[in-house]
Amino acid sequence: MASETTDSLFRHYGPGYRWLATVTVMLGTISAVLTTTSVNVAIPDIMGAFGIGQDRAQWLSTGALAATTVGMLLNAWMMTRFGQRRTFVWVLVVFVASLMVAGLSPNESVLIFCRIVQGAVAGLLQPLSMYTLFRVFPPEQRGTAMGFFGMSVILGPALGPTLGGVMIEHFNWRYIFYVAVPVCAIAILMGSVFLPEREEAGERVRFDWQGFALLVTALACLLTGLSNGQREGWQSDYILSLFVIAILAAVSFVVWELRAPQPLVDLKVLANPQFTGAAVVACLFGVGLFGSTYLVPLFVQTVQHMTPYAAGLMLMPAGLIMGALMPMAGYLSDRVPSRSLIIAGLLCFAVSSWWLAGVDANTSFWTIAWCIVVTRIGLSLIKPALNLAALRSLRPELLGQGAGMINFARQLGGAFGVNLLSVILDRRTSFHSDALTALQTSGNSATAELLRQVQDLLAQSGAPPDLQASGALHFLARVLHAQAYSMGFRDSFLIVAIVFALGLIPAWMMGRARSKPESDPVLRFETRAR
């Protein structure tokens, strides 16, 4: 069929078309997110294969994260310029090519480049999927649609680390990139049939190269500064220069977008109080979500000495439960005010993070797992309701921009969350280490007793007398560091709880959105059918 629009596809396939479109975009989104998350467990093996350090390896994650953030804002222009079908198909073709090259990477530079491409694809696909579902479902079913979209985004992080661990254990890290290729092939075939082409044949929008360059500069400098500040020194010329450039680029980006005839980001969406409130919640939500997802596996591996596989198993049940709850939460968001569900979800996150602030090396596996389950229940309540509240407050011509902006806000919050919590963890650990060390005086009876017991054990084991005292002091230092590290984690979880609590303020201020169903193509089709 020539020039297939949403209307013509509904006429051809009937009401069942919306589910064909849903399966199509979900397959693409799951493939991109699955690959992005499964690579994280392979970083130690990649470091060993290429002989690189942590400072170089971190770009496998940081580069992809920055590209995902930028890609979410490119989505609106690409759909306007090329249409949903061509954007979806060709983005996935590029994604498959990057997967094949990544699996054959001869060095880390090629792999990092491929990861940046994959991150950009993930960023493009998520708003496109959300936009598609919003257009093909009627207003009374859009919450359910957002639930299915949320499920596709969540299944990737839930299954990715475990799948990556299995592939590494039985094959090697390169096979991680090949897993998604068959699914992508199916998504490409379905997208070329079931997704609409350009809805209108108007003037093609020129790409905003100036705005794009300013945005990339701001994000690259900001994330590089946050990632390297602890190592280089926060007051070093290098780090301060990066932050200054990031601020100048960000301000210039906003000024340019307000004046540009065809901006990369239409800031008109922020004139809507409902959407702006949702964007603020999404940003704070991203800080807490990505930050907690970073902290929990790190805590159980470094403090409780779990294996990566065990850490992945701890996260997987919560992810699967959330995937099952997401459609039900979406269904509920069609019948309950979005603000109520968002507030309930934020409270779940805040309470569970507060519980995690009390964990230590002796906390049981199932206690931590239950806390994670509560956080994922909160996520199930928030995500469909937040997307629904944000998009239904906008005019139809701004839906593409809105879908990109709300995902951009969440992703940007996530980028801040991971980097800031990493810094906070290091700073608080150093603070507690210094405080605990200051308490180890000759008058501290508990310390004296511990040193005596350790010396006795070393003597019984046959250690030379001149090594008994130094061995006991070395053991004390390790105990103090472990305790300080655990206390640093507890402080970090407490900060996550505070962030989610702060999210209650913009959530409470969000008003109820009113949709304009008369402009929806699905309603036009169903009205004519009746």
Looking at residue 308, its pLDDT comes to 61
Region of poorest pLDDT, from 63-67, 129-133, 460-464: 460-464
Q: Give the DSSP letter string of 13-45.
A: H-TTHHHHHHHHHHHHHHHHHHHHHHGGGGHHH
CA–CA dist 78, 127 (Å, integer): 11
Looking at residue 530, its pLDDT comes to 41
Kindly tell me if the per-residue pLDDT of 149 is higher than 50.
yes
Looking at residue 466, its pLDDT comes to 67
* pLDDT band at residue 10 under the 50/70/90 scheme: confident
Region of poorest pLDDT, from 75-79, 138-142, 439-443: 439-443
The candidate with the shortest Cα–Cα distance to 390, out of 512, 518, 516, 522, is 512
Arithmetic mean of pLDDT, 120-134: 83
CA–CA dist 275, 391 (Å, integer): 7
Looking at residue 526, its pLDDT comes to 45
Kindly tell me if the per-residue pLDDT of 109 is higher than 80.
yes
* pLDDT band at residue 500 under the 50/70/90 scheme: confident
CA 105 → CA 39, 101, 117, 138, distances in Å?
Answer: 14, 6, 14, 45
Kindly tell me if the per-residue pLDDT of 527 is higher than 50.
no
Q: Which amino acid is at 65?
A: L
CB-CB contact of 429 with 301 (8 Å) = no
CA–CA dist 62, 419 (Å, integer): 9
* pLDDT band at residue 159 under the 50/70/90 scheme: low
CB-CB contact of 429 with 300 (8 Å) = no
* pLDDT band at residue 97 under the 50/70/90 scheme: very high
DSSP code of 304?
S
254 CB-near residues (< 8 Å, 6+ apart): 267
Looking at residue 523, its pLDDT comes to 45
Kindly tell me if the per-residue pLDDT of 181 is higher than 70.
yes
Looking at residue 89, its pLDDT comes to 92
CA–CA dist 382, 386 (Å, integer): 6
